[in-house]
Amino acid sequence: MPYPEMMIKPMREEVTRLGVQELRTVGEVDEALGPGEGTALVFVNSVCGCAAGGARPALTLALQHGVKPQHLYTVFAGQDLDATARARSYFAEYRPSSPSIALLREGEVVHFVHRHMIEGRGPEAIAADLAAAFDRFCSAALPTDRLP
């Protein structure tokens, strides 16, 4: 059951103020992820303080890194149910968990951060892993012989 919107508004804004586009409808998700162009990060936001309390600050830190995905999106699990389900259909081989973070390149998942990789870790450690993934998968000048 969704939480009162007033309660989660700060959690949405903690992500959207970073310049991350929130997708709240199926149509918005398809418009954003359907073309599968370039690199895109999808942050599955969550109310759960056990993990999301670390995930959002980690995203803040990671997006200060020099290399970033071209497109930044977020959906809110447990709140925007249809949009979240549709977003997850773009990385359906990965089991749903929230919070979680998918990194896509040309529509293919190249890196995935599950909830269990967030729990109990500090934002700095999570952000460092994300930044390493950005370096690996989002560098524009990556020579083709270095592609994974």
Partner 1 sequence: MTGHVFHPGHEPLHGVTVVVEGTSGRTWVGRYHERNERGVVMHDVAIHDPATAAVSREEWIEKLRRFGIAVDEPFVILPLKEAGPIAPLVEWLETKARPAPAPPR
Q: Could you say which of 95, 106, 108, 124 contacts partner 1 (CB under 8 A)? A: 95
In the complex, minimum distance from the CB of residue 89 to partner 1, in angstroms, rounded to a whole number: 15
Q: Is 5 exposed, middle or buried (0-12, 13-18, 19+ CB in 10 A)?
A: exposed
| CB hemisphere CA count around 64 (13 angstroms) | 8
Q: Which residues are catalytic?
A: 48, 50
38 lies in the site for partner 1, by CB under 8 A:
no
Q: Which is nearer to partner 1, 107 or 122 (CB)?
A: 122
Residues 59, 29, 95, 45: what is their CA dihedral angle, to the nearest 10 degrees? 30
114 lies in the site for partner 1, by CB under 8 A:
yes
Alpha-carbon separation of residue 17 from 10, 61, 73 (angstroms): 10, 13, 12
Q: Could you say which of 65, 119, 128, 142 contacts partner 1 (CB under 8 A)? A: 119
Q: Which is nearer to partner 1, 86 or 88 (CB)?
A: 88
Q: Which is nearer to partner 1, 1 or 141 (CB)?
A: 1
Q: Could you say which of 56, 86, 111, 115 contacts partner 1 (CB under 8 A)? A: 115
126 lies in the site for partner 1, by CB under 8 A:
no
What is the C-alpha separation between 105 and 70, in angstroms, rounded? 10
What is the C-alpha separation between 113 and 129, in angstroms, rounded? 9
Which residues of this chain interact with partner 1, rule CB under 8 A?
48-51, 53, 93-97, 100, 112, 114-117, 119-122
